[in-house]
C-alpha cells in the first residue's frame, strides 16, 4: 500500500455542498443546483435528491417530478470557484504535482512525499480530506492507486466522503468483472460495438490478443488492452494550461433563424474574446457549436491565417460558419463558440496588408474592454449587440458620431478592406 | 470494352488523374475515374465537381466501350505492376466488374454507371491564347506560395490573373496574397490575352496545373477563359476548372510607392544567413530581426527556449540605421523565387509594408508585412 501514490480527489456534489455549507437550514433538504428556466438542466444534485433518482444533466422539470420537495438554486459560480480554489490550494500544499480536471476534481501524485509529510500517501490524503472538511466545509472522495485510471475508478467506489484504494496485486481481480464502460474512452457506441462482439466485462478484453483488438477496434484496440491489464502510463501533469476557451448558451425556445442566432452569437464571441485577453492568449482556430432541437450536435471550425483576440474576428468567422447551417430548415436549442490552438496574446492580430482597419478595430476593442473594466459590461456595446428591429418598427434613432455621412463614404474606406466582398451593411452595424 | 495499354502510359495518366480525386469521398462516383475506349485511344477523366482532368493516351482497342472504376485502386494496382508490362482492361459480361490483367496478375474492380459520372461543362470560353509552359510555370511558381488558406477570405484562395490596361505594352499578371505577403509577377501578355477578364484560379487547380507544366517546360499551353471557368490544354491533358467567384482586392493599393530606404544584399548569402539564424527563431512566429547600419546588416533571432543567433552580412546600404523584423519563412519563400544575384529590399519604417525584389529584374515584386520584434 505504501507504494501507491497516484490519487484522484473529487468533491461530493460540489455545488450543492457549497450551498448547504452557506445555508445550514438546507442541510437536511434535497437541494438541486441548476437552471431554473423552462429549459433548465440539473448541474448538481445533493445526495438526498439523488435518492429520488435526480442526476446531473437531467432536465429540471423531470428532476422536480422525481423530487417535488427539492429546493432549486441557481448556480452562483463565483462562490463555487472560490471554494474550488481553496480546495486546490490545500492540495498544492502537499505536492506541486496537482492536475486539476475541473473546478472540483484533480489528480495528485504524492510519490516521494513520505519523508516530507511524515507518512505514506494514504495517511497524507486522509489528513487532506479532514482539512478540506474543516477549512472549506465540503466533503471529498478520494481514490488511491498506482495510476490515474485506477485512482479515478477508486474515488468513485465509495462516494460520498469515501476513501478507496486499489492495490497493485488486486488490480486484475478487481477489474475483471467490471463493465467495459469503466474504461475511459469507452462511450455508448464503443460499448455497443463490444457488446455486439459478446464482450461485456474488462476481464473478457484481457483474455483477448492485443493484435486482434487492434484489428477489430483500430486505435482503440491497444488502449482497451492496456487498460484491461490495469496499465496506464499517463503522468500527473500539473501544467493544466488551457487548450481551448469557449462559451455557449441554451435557448428557452428552439431558434431557426439566422438573424436571431447571429444576435445570440455576438455576446458569446465578446465573452470568449474577453477571456482570451484576460488569460493572455490569442487563438487561431474558431469552432462553432450548435445543438439541434433533437439533440444532434453540429460543430464547424475554421483555422485562421493568424491568431486573433478580437471578438469581431471571432464573430465574423463563426457567423460565416453559421450561415450555411442556419437556413431556417433546422431549429437549434444551443449555440456556442470556442477557440483553440492558443498562442501567446502578443501574437494576436498581426498587421494585415488587406485590412488597414484592423489596428483601429484592435484599439476599439481594447478601449471597450478598459471601459467595461471600470464601469461594467453594460457601459458600452456594439450596435450588433442591440436588439434587432422588427421590419414594421421604426428605425431606432441612435446618434452615432462615427457613422460615415453618405456623401463621405470614401473617408470611411480606411476602415474596410479594399475589396468588394465584405458586405458593407454588416460592417456599418459593427460600429460602436 | 476491351483494350491493351502500356503500363508506363497508363501509370502516367493515372498519376495526373488521381490527385484530382479526393481520397475521402462521400459521393462514391467522385472516387472513380471514367474510362472511355474508342478509336485507338483510352480517355481517362477525373473530377471533384470543381476541377476536371481529361487525358487521352494511345491504346490498342479491341472493343470500344466505357465505364467508371475506383481511381486510387486502379492507380495503386498499375503502380505495383512490373515495369514494361502490358495491361489489359476489359469489361466482360453484365456483372458490373472491370478486369485488369497484366502478366499473371488479375484484378476485378467494381464499376459505377457512366451516366452518373458528373460532367463539368466548360460554358462560354471567350478568351483564348497560347503561352509557353515555362512562362506559365514561372508565373505560378513565383506567386503560389502567397496564396491564402483562410476560407473566410475565399477570394484569396487562389492566384489572380489579369492583364494590365497599358495598350502599348500589356502585361499578363499573376498576383497572390494572404494579407501578410503579396507576390506580383508579370510577363508580356500573349497574343489574345490582352482583353482577358480578371480571373482567380483556385489553389487546387494551381497545384494540378503546376504539376502538368513541370513535366515539360518546352510545351505550348492553350488557355481558354470564361467568366466562371478556365480550360488549360497541355500535351494530351485537358484541365477544366471552376474559378473563384469573388472580387480580388485592389492589390495596387497595398504596394507602397514611397519606400526610400533601399537595401541591396547578395541573394544567396542572404538566404543562407536567414535560414541559419531562423534555426533559433520561435517556432510559431519564425521572427527574425534585421538591424541595418551603413554597409552592414545584422540578422538576429532570440527564443526563450532555444537561445539566440546573430549573423552579419556586408550590404549595400547608406540610408541611416533601421531595425525591422520579418517572418523568416516568408523571406525564404521569396528568396527561393529570386534567381538574380542581388536582392533589393525597399523599406519605409519598421511597421510599414516592405518591397522585396530582384535588384535587376522588375518582372516580380513581393510585398512583405514586417513583424514586431
Contacts of B369 in chain A (CB under 8 A): 350-353
Residue A431: pLDDT above 70?
Answer: no
C-alpha cell of residue B239: 484541365
Question: What confidence category does residue B282 fall into, taking pLDDT thresholds of 50, 70 and 90?
Answer: confident
Q: Where is pLDDT greater, at A279 or A146?
A: A146
Q: Which of B16, B56, B20, B14 is nearest to B241 (CA)?
A: B20
**B166: exposed, middle or buried (Cβ count in 10 Å: 0-12, 13-18, 19+):** exposed
Q: Where is pLDDT greater, at A40 or B80?
A: B80
Contacts of A302 in chain B (CB under 8 A): 150-152
Q: Where is pLDDT greater, at B174 or A390?
A: B174
Q: Which of A297, A48, A9 is nearest to A164 (CA)?
A: A9
pLDDT of residue A404: 40
Q: What is the ipTM of this complex?
A: 0.78
For B178, which of A305, A317, A419 is closest by C-beta distance? Answer: A305
* Percent of chain A's residues with pLDDT above 90: 51
Q: Which of A105, A237, A270, A369 is catalytic?
A: A105
- Inter-residue contact B224 to B206 (CB < 8 Å): no
**B109: exposed, middle or buried (Cβ count in 10 Å: 0-12, 13-18, 19+):** middle
C-alpha cell of residue B44: 481517362
- Inter-residue contact A106 to A84 (CB < 8 Å): no
CB contact under 8 A, A419 and B150: no
Options 3.30.200.20, 1.10.357.10, 3.90.79.10, 3.10.150.10; CATH for B256-368 is 3.10.150.10
Contacts of B254 in chain A (CB under 8 A): 353-354, 418
Domain definitions of chain B by residue range: 2-116, 127-252, 256-368
Shortest distance between the Cα of A239 and any Cα of chain B, in A, equals: 17
Q: Where is pLDDT greater, at A100 or B266?
A: B266
pLDDT of residue B277: 95
CB contact under 8 A, A343 and B247: no
Residue B338: pLDDT above 60?
Answer: yes
Question: What confidence category does residue A174 fall into, taking pLDDT thresholds of 50, 70 and 90?
Answer: very high
Q: Which homologous superfamily is B2-116 in?
A: DNA Polymerase III, subunit A, domain 2 (3.10.150.10)
- What's the pLDDT tens digit per position in B99-146? 999 999 999 999 999 999 998 887 889 999 999 999 999 999 999 999
Q: Where is pLDDT greater, at A117 or B276?
A: B276
Q: Which B positions 283-302 lie with beta carbon below 8 A of chain A?
A: 284-285
Shortest distance between the Cα of B99 and any Cα of chain A, in A, equals: 29
pLDDT of residue A188: 85
The yes or no reply on domain B127-252 and CATH 3.10.150.10 is yes
pLDDT of residue A401: 39
Residue A394: pLDDT above 70?
Answer: no
pLDDT of residue A393: 47
- What's the pLDDT tens digit per position in A182-193? 988 888 888 998
Torsion sign (Cα): A112, A118, A119, A122: negative
C-alpha cell of residue B37: 475506349
C-alpha cell of residue A96: 506541486
When scoring A315, A354, A420, A423 by the number of chain B Cβ atoms within 10 A, the one with the most, hence best to mutate, is A354
Q: Rg for chain B (alpha carbons), in Å?
A: 25
pLDDT of residue A370: 85
- What's the pLDDT tens digit per position in A19-29? 999 999 999 99
pLDDT of residue A212: 86
- Inter-residue contact B348 to B259 (CB < 8 Å): yes
CB contact under 8 A, A355 and B179: yes
Q: Number of CB pairs < 8 Å for A and B?
A: 64
Q: What is the enclosing helix (H) or strand (E) of A267?
A: helix A258-279
pLDDT of residue A388: 53
pLDDT of residue A189: 85
Question: What confidence category does residue A166 fall into, taking pLDDT thresholds of 50, 70 and 90?
Answer: very high
Contacts of B160 in chain A (CB under 8 A): none
pLDDT of residue A240: 55
Residue B4: pLDDT above 90?
Answer: yes
pLDDT of residue A375: 75
How far lies B277's CA from each of A218, B299, B308, in Å?
43, 7, 8
pLDDT of residue B234: 94
- Inter-residue contact B231 to B125 (CB < 8 Å): yes
Residue B25: pLDDT above 90?
Answer: no
pLDDT of residue A408: 36
Question: What confidence category does residue A103 fall into, taking pLDDT thresholds of 50, 70 and 90?
Answer: confident
CB contact under 8 A, A353 and B151: no
CB contact under 8 A, B249 and A354: yes
Residue A287: pLDDT above 80?
Answer: yes
CA atoms within 13 A on the CB side of A266: 17
Q: How much is the average pLDDT of A196-223?
A: 88
CB contact under 8 A, B152 and A317: yes
Q: How much is the average pLDDT of B27-52?
A: 94
Least confident of A113-117, B169-173, B235-239: A113-117
Question: What confidence category does residue B214 fall into, taking pLDDT thresholds of 50, 70 and 90?
Answer: confident
Residue of B nearest to A319 (CA): B152
Is A365 considered catalytic here?
A: no
CB contact under 8 A, B177 and A354: yes
Q: How far apart are CA A423 and CA B8, in angstroms?
A: 52
Q: How far apart are CA B11 and CA B81, in angstroms?
A: 10
pTM: 0.68
Mean pLDDT estimate for chain A: 84
Least confident of A35-39, A164-168, B86-90: A35-39
pLDDT of residue A289: 94
Shortest distance between the Cα of B92 and any Cα of chain A, in A, equals: 35
β-pairing, B287-293 vs B322-327, is antiparallel
Q: Where is pLDDT greater, at A215 or A262?
A: A262
Q: How much is the average pLDDT of A212-223?
A: 85
How far lies A138's CA from each of A22, A34, A94, A130, B14, in Å?
10, 19, 19, 10, 68
Q: How much is the average pLDDT of B289-310?
A: 92
C-alpha cell of residue B197: 477578364
Angle at A114 between CA A109 and CA A116, to 5 degrees: 100
Q: Which of A425, A398, A400, A428 is nearest to A415 (CA)?
A: A428
β-pairing, B2-6 vs B86-91, is antiparallel
Q: What is the enclosing helix (H) or strand (E) of B223?
A: strand B220-226
Residue A423: pLDDT above 70?
Answer: no
Q: How far apart are CA A224 and CA A235, in angstroms?
A: 18
Q: Which B positions 113-172 lie with beta carbon below 8 A of chain A?
A: 148-153, 155-156
Q: Which A positions 302-321 lie with beta carbon below 8 A of chain B?
A: 302-306, 316-317, 320
Residue of A nearest to B372 (CA): A350
Shortest distance between the Cα of B131 and any Cα of chain A, in A, equals: 30
CB contact under 8 A, B153 and A351: no
Amino acid at each position: 500500500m505504501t507504494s501507491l501514490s497516484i490519487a484522484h480527489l473529487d468533491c461530493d456534489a460540489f455545488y450543492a455542498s457549497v450551498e448547504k455549507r452557506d445555508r445550514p437550514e438546507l442541510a437536511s433538504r434535497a437541494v438541486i443546483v441548476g437552471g431554473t428556466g423552462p429549459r433548465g438542466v440539473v448541474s448538481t444534485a445533493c445526495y438526498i435528491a439523488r435518492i429520488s433518482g435526480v442526476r446531473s444533466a437531467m432536465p429540471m422539470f423531470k428532476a422536480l417530478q422525481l423530487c417535488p420537495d427539492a429546493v432549486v438554486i441557481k448556480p452562483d459560480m463565483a462562490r463555487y470557484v472560490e471554494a474550488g480554489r481553496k480546495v486546490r490550494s490545500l492540495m498544492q500544499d502537499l505536492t506541486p504535482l496537482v492536475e486539476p480536471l475541473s473546478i472540483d476534481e484533480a489528480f495528485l501524485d504524492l510519490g516521494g512525499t513520505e519523508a516530507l509529510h511524515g507518512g505514506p500517501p494514504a495517511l497524507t490524503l486522509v489528513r487532506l480530506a479532514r482539512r478540506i472538511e474543516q477549512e472549506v466545509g465540503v466533503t471529498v472522495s478520494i481514490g488511491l492507486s498506482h495510476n490515474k485510471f485506477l485512482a479515478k475508478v477508486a474515488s468513485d467506489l465509495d462516494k460520498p466522503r469515501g476513501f478507496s484504494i486499489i492495490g497493485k496485486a488486486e488490480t486484475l481481480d478487481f477489474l475483471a468483472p467490471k463493465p467495459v464502460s469503466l474504461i475511459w474512452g469507452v462511450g455508448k457506441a464503443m460499448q455497443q460495438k463490444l457488446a455486439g462482439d459478446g464482450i461485456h466485462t474488462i476481464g473478457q478484453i484481457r483474455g483477448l490478443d492485443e493484435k486482434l483488438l487492434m484489428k477489430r477496434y483500430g486505435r482503440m484496440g491497444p488502449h482497451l488492452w492496456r487498460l484491461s491489464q490495469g496499465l496506464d502510463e499517463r503522468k500527473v501533469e500539473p501544467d493544466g494550461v488551457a487548450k481551448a476557451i469557449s462559451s455557449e448558451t441554451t435557448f428557452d425556445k428552439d431558434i431557426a433563424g439566422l438573424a436571431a442566432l447571429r444576435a445570440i452569437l455576438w455576446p458569446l464571441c465578446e465573452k470568449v474574446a474577453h477571456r482570451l485577453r484576460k488569460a493572455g492568449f490569442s487563438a487561431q482556430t474558431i469552432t462553432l457549436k450548435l445543438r439541434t432541437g433533437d439533440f444532434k450536435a453540429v460543430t464547424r471550425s475554421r483555422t485562421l491565417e493568424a491568431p486573433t483576440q478580437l471578438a469581431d474576428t471571432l464573430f465574423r468567422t463563426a457567423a460565416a460558419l453559421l450561415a450555411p447551417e442556419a437556413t431556417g430548415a433546422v431549429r437549434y436549442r444551443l449555440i456556442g463558440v470556442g477557440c483553440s490552438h492558443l498562442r501567446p496574446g502578443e501574437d494576436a492580430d498581426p498587421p494585415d496588408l488587406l485590412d488597414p482597419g484592423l489596428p483601429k478595430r484592435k484599439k476599439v476593442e481594447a478601449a471597450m474592454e478598459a471601459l467595461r473594466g471600470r464601469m461594467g459590461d453594460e457601459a458600452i456595446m456594439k450596435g450588433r449587440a442591440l436588439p434587432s428591429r422588427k421590419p414594421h418598427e421604426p428605425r431606432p434613432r441612435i446618434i452615432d458620431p462615427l457613422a460615415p455621412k453618405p456623401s463621405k463614404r470614401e473617408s470611411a474606406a480606411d476602415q474596410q478592406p479594399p475589396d468588394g466582398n465584405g458586405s458593407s451593411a454588416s460592417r456599418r452595424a459593427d460600429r460602436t | 470494352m476491351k483494350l491493351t495499354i502500356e503500363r508506363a502510359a497508363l501509370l502516367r495518366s493515372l498519376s495526373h488523374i488521381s490527385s484530382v480525386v479526393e481520397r475521402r469521398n462521400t459521393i462514391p462516383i467522385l472516387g472513380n475515374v471514367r474510362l472511355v475506349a474508342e478509336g485507338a485511344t483510352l480517355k481517362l477523366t477525373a473530377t471533384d465537381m470543381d476541377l476536371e482532368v481529361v487525358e487521352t493516351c494511345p491504346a490498342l482497342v479491341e472493343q470500344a466501350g466505357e465505364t467508371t472504376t475506383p481511381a486510387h485502386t486502379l492507380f495503386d494496382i498499375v503502380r505495383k505492376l512490373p515495369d514494361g508490362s502490358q495491361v489489359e482492361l476489359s469489361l466482360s459480361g453484365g456483372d458490373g466488374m472491370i478486369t485488369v490483367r497484366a502478366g499473371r496478375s488479375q484484378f476485378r474492380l467494381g464499376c459505377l454507371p457512366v451516366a452518373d459520372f458528373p460532367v463539368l461543362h466548360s460554358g462560354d470560353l471567350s478568351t483564348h491564347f497560347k503561352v509557353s509552359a515555362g512562362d506559365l510555370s514561372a508565373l505560378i511558381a513565383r506567386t503560389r506560395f502567397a496564396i491564402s488558406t483562410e476560407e473566410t477570405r475565399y477570394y484569396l484562395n487562389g492566384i489572380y490573373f489579369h492583364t494590365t490596361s497599358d495598350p502599348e505594352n500589356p502585361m499578363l499578371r499573376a498576383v497572390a496574397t494572404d494579407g501578410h505577403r503579396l507576390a506580383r509577377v508579370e510577363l508580356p501578355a500573349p497574343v489574345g490575352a490582352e482583353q482577358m477578364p480578371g480571373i482567380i484560379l483556385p489553389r487546387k487547380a494551381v497545384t494540378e496545373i503546376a504539376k502538368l507544366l513541370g513535366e515539360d517546360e518546352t510545351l505550348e499551353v492553350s488557355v481558354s477563359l470564361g467568366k466562371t471557368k478556365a480550360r488549360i490544354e497541355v500535351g494530351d491533358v485537358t484541365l477544366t476548372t471552376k474559378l473563384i467567384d469573388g472580387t480580388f482586392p485592389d492589390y495596387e493599393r497595398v504596394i507602397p510607392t514611397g519606400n526610400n530606404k533601399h537595401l541591396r544584399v547578395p541573394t544567396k548569402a542572404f538566404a543562407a544567413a536567414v535560414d541559419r539564424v531562423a534555426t533559433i527563431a520561435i517556432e510559431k512566429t519564425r521572427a527574425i530581426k534585421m538591424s541595418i547600419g551603413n554597409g552592414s546588416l545584422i540578422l538576429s533571432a532570440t527564443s526563450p527556449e532555444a537561445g539566440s543567433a546573430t549573423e552579419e552580412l556586408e550590404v549595400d546600404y547608406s540610408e541611416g540605421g533601421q531595425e525591422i523584423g520579418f517572418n523568416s519563412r516568408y523571406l525564404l519563400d521569396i528568396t527561393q523565387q529570386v534567381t538574380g544575384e542581388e536582392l533589393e529590399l525597399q523599406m519605409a519604417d519598421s511597421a510599414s509594408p516592405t518591397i522585396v525584389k530582384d535588384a535587376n529584374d522588375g518582372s516580380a515584386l513581393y510585398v512583405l508585412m514586417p513583424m514586431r520584434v
